[in-house]
C-alpha cells in the first residue's frame, strides 16, 4: 500500500521475537463509510487490538472504536499502529480511553488533519506520531500521564506541525513527558493553552520548545496563584482564570504539619464557587480529616467566605499496653516508623524477639521501658533507595520478584513491573511527586526534579 506502512509492517513482524505477535485481521466500517483494519497483537502475554490501516477517511472525522471483534473474539483497541493513517486525508481523530500506545508515524503526513483528541489511557506516544501534520491546529490531551515518548528516527512528535496553535489539557491530566511537545520549537506558534485539570501541571522552560512565548494560558481559578508563581509557566505567556465577577473570597488550604503531609487548593474565588481541595500524607503518616470537620479527600468545597481549612495529619493510632510473649515474636518495620511511648511499657520475652528494620525507626520514650531479657536479635535490611540516573528512575534494595509500582499522588498507577535484578529501572516520569511501592513495603514519596 504505502512505503512507510510496508516498512512498519516489517518492523512489527520483526518484533514478534521480542514479545509482540501479529495475528488475524478484521475490517470495521464506520457510519460515515470509513474503513479501519485491525489485527491482534500480544505484548507481555496480553492480547489486544492494533489499528493497522485505514481507507476512505479523506475529509472525515474518525472516532476509533474502543473494542473490535477479530476472529470471533472481542479485544480492546490498545494501539494505533505504525503508519496506520500515514499520508491519509483524515480531518479529525478521536482516540479512545482504552488506547495506551500511539506508535511511530501513526499520523505522519496527514496534511488535512486539523484536530486530535487523545483519550485518558494513552501513556506512550512515539516520535514522528504526528510528523508533518501541517494543518493540525488543535490538540486535546486527556491522557492522565504520557510517560513515554519513544524515539524512532530522531524527529519530534509534532515536527512540521506549523499550524498548531491550541493545546487543551483535560481534567484528569496529572503530567506528561517533557519531550512530548519539545518539537514545537521553531515549528509552531502556540497562542492558546487551556488547562482544565485542577492541579499544577509540571513543566520546564523547554517543555514546549525554546521559541514559544506570548501564549495565553487559561487555568482553573483554584490554581491561578500556583501557575503565576511557577517560573516556566510564567515565562511561557500570560496566565489567567475565570473567577467570576461577584464578591471574591480567599480560601487558604494548609497542613497542620508539613513533615507529615501536604495540602493544596489555596486561591481567591468569586462567592459560592465550588472547588476541590487535596491532602496527601507523607509515608508513615495518616490523614484524619479537615479542621472544619470534613473528612473527604479529595473534597469538594463551596467558598462563600474568607476561610482557612487545615488538613490534619497524624501518626497511625494504636494502643500500647503490657505484653507477654511466650514464643518467637517477629516485628517487621517498613520505611520510617515513629513510636512514641507516653507511659510505662512492660514487655516480657520468654523466647526470641526478632526485629527487622527496612529503613529507619525513631523511638521516643517519655517514661520507662522494661525489657526482659535484654537480648534482642536485631536485623537491619538494606533500605529501598530511589534516585534519577541515565534517564531512568533507579530503585535499589528490592528483592527478586518484588512488585515495583509507581503511583501518582492521587493513587493512580503510572508504572508497574517486577524486580528482576539490582537495580530496577523505571522509565523516568514527568517532574513531580509520586508514590513508590516495592514488594509489601508501604508506599514512599518520591519527588522527581529535572
Question: What cell numbers appear for 154 in the block?
Answer: 530522531
Is residue 38 within 8 A of residue 52, CB to CB? The reply is yes
Per-residue pLDDT at 149: 76
- Of the listed ranges 116-120, 143-147, 260-264, 377-381, the one predicted with least confidence: 377-381
Per-residue pLDDT tens over the stretch 141-198: 999 989 877 654 445 888 889 899 999 999 999 989 888 888 886 666 889 999 999 8
What φ, ψ does residue 10 adopt, rounded to 5°?
-65, -40
Q: Quote the DSSP letter at residue 443.
A: P
Sequence length of the chain is 450
Coil vs helix vs strand at 27: strand
d(CA 114, CA 166): 11
Q: Give the tens place of pLDDT for each residue, 45-92.
A: 889 999 999 999 999 999 999 999 999 999 999 999 999 999 999 999
pLDDT above 60 for 203: yes
C-alpha cell at 394: 533507579
414 vs 271: which has the higher pLDDT = 414
In sequence order, what DSSP letters do the residues of 161-173 get, joined into one string?
A: -TT--EEEE-TT-
pLDDT at 210: 76
Q: Which of 110-124, 196-210, 368-382, 415-429 has the highest mean pLDDT?
A: 110-124
How sure is the predictor about 3, in pLDDT bands with cuts at 50, 70 and 90?
very low
With bands split at pLDDT 50, 70 and 90, how would you rate the model's confidence at 11? very low
Taking the alpha carbons of 419, 423, 427, 428 in that order, is the dihedral positive or negative?
positive
368 CB-near residues (< 8 Å, 6+ apart):
344, 345
Contact 240, 216 (CB under 8 A): yes
Q: What is the pLDDT at residue 118?
A: 96
Mean pLDDT score of the chain, rounded to an integer? 79
Pairing status of strand 145-146 against strand 175-176? parallel
Res 302: pLDDT = 81
220-232 confidence digits (pLDDT tens): 988 888 899 999 9
User: Do residues 248 and 274 lie in contact, with contact meaning Cβ atoms separated by under 8 Å?
Assistant: no
The pLDDT of 238-247, averaged and rounded, is 75
Look at residue 141 in the predicted model and tell me its pLDDT. Answer: 96
**pLDDT for 325 beyond 70:** no
CB count in 10 Å sphere of residue 63: 15
- Highest mean pLDDT range out of 5-9, 197-201, 408-412, 416-420? 197-201
Question: Residue 323: what pLDDT?
Answer: 44
Query: What is the average pLDDT across 121-149?
Result: 91
- For residue 404, report the phi and psi dihedrals to the nearest 5 degrees: -120, 110
At 232, is the secondary structure helix, strand, or coil?
helix
Between strands 385-389 and 413-418, the pairing is: unpaired
Q: Would you list the DSSP string of 339-407?
A: EEE-S-EEEEESS-EEEEESS-EEEEESS-EEEESS--EEEEPPPPEEEEETTEEEEES--TT-EEEEE
Residue 359 has pLDDT above 60, yes or no: no
| Least confident stretch, 87-91, 177-181, 245-249, 437-441 | 245-249
Amino acid at each position: 500500500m504505502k512505503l512507510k506502512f510496508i516498512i512498519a509492517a516489517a518492523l512489527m513482524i520483526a518484533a514478534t521475537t521480542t514479545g509482540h505477535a501479529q495475528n488475524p485481521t478484521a475490517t470495521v466500517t464506520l457510519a460515515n463509510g470509513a474503513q479501519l483494519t485491525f489485527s491482534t497483537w500480544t505484548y507481555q502475554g496480553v492480547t489486544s487490538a492494533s489499528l493497522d490501516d485505514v481507507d476512505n477517511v479523506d475529509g472525515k472525522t474518525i472516532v476509533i472504536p474502543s473494542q473490535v471483534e477479530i476472529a470471533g473474539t472481542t479485544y480492546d483497541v490498545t494501539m494505533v499502529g505504525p503508519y496506520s493513517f500515514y499520508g491519509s486525508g483524515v480531518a479529525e481523530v478521536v482516540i479512545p480511553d482504552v488506547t495506551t500506545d500511539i506508535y511511530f508515524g501513526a499520523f505522519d503526513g496527514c496534511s488535512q488533519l486539523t484536530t486530535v483528541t487523545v483519550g485518558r489511557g494513552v501513556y506512550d506516544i512515539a516520535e514522528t506520531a504526528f510528523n508533518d501534520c501541517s494543518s493540525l491546529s488543535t490538540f486535546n490531551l486527556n491522557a492522565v500521564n504520557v510517560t513515554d515518548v519513544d524515539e524512532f528516527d530522531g524527529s519530534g512528535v509534532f515536527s512540521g506541525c506549523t499550524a498548531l496553535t491550541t493545546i487543551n489539557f483535560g481534567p484528569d491530566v496529572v503530567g506528561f513527558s517533557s519531550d512530548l511537545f519539545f518539537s514545537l520549537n521553531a515549528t509552531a506558534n502556540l497562542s492558546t493553552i487551556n488547562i482544565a485539570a485542577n492541579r499544577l501541571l509540571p513543566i520546564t522552560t523547554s517543555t514546549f520548545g525554546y521559541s514559544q512565548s506570548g501564549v495565553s494560558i487559561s487555568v482553573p481559578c483554584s490554581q491561578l496563584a500556583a501557575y503565576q508563581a511557577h517560573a516556566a509557566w510564567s515565562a511561557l505567556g500570560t496566565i489567567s482564570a475565570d473567577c467570576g465577577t461577584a464578591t471574591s473570597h480567599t480560601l487558604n488550604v494548609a497542613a497542620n504539619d508539613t513533615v507529615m503531609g501536604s495540602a493544596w487548593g489555596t486561591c481567591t474565588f468569586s462567592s459560592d464557587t465550588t472547588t476541590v481541595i487535596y491532602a496527601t500524607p507523607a509515608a508513615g503518616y495518616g490523614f484524619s480529616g479537615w479542621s472544619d470537620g470534613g473528612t473527604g479527600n479529595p473534597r469538594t468545597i463551596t467558598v462563600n467566605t474568607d476561610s482557612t481549612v487545615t488538613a490534619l495529619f497524624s501518626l497511625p493510632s494504636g494502643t500500647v499496653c503490657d505484653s507477654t510473649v511466650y514464643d518467637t515474636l517477629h516485628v517487621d518495620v517498613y520505611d520510617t516508623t515513629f513510636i512514641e511511648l507516653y507511659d510505662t511499657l512492660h514487655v516480657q520475652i520468654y523466647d526470641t524477639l526478632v526485629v527487622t528494620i527496612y529503613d529507619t525507626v525513631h523511638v521516643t520514650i517519655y517514661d520507662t521501658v522494661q525489657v526482659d531479657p535484654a537480648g534482642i536479635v536485631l536485623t537491619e535490611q538494606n533500605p529501598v533507595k530511589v534516585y534519577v540516573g541515565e534517564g531512568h528512575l533507579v530503585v535499589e534494595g528490592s528483592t527478586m520478584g518484588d512488585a515495583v509500582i509507581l503511583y501518582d499522588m492521587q493513587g493512580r498507577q503510572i508504572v508497574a513491573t517486577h524486580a528482576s535484578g539490582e537495580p530496577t529501572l523505571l522509565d523516568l516520569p514527568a517532574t513531580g511527586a509520586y508514590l513508590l511501592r516495592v514488594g509489601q513495603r508501604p508506599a514512599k514519596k518520591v519527588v522527581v526534579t529535572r
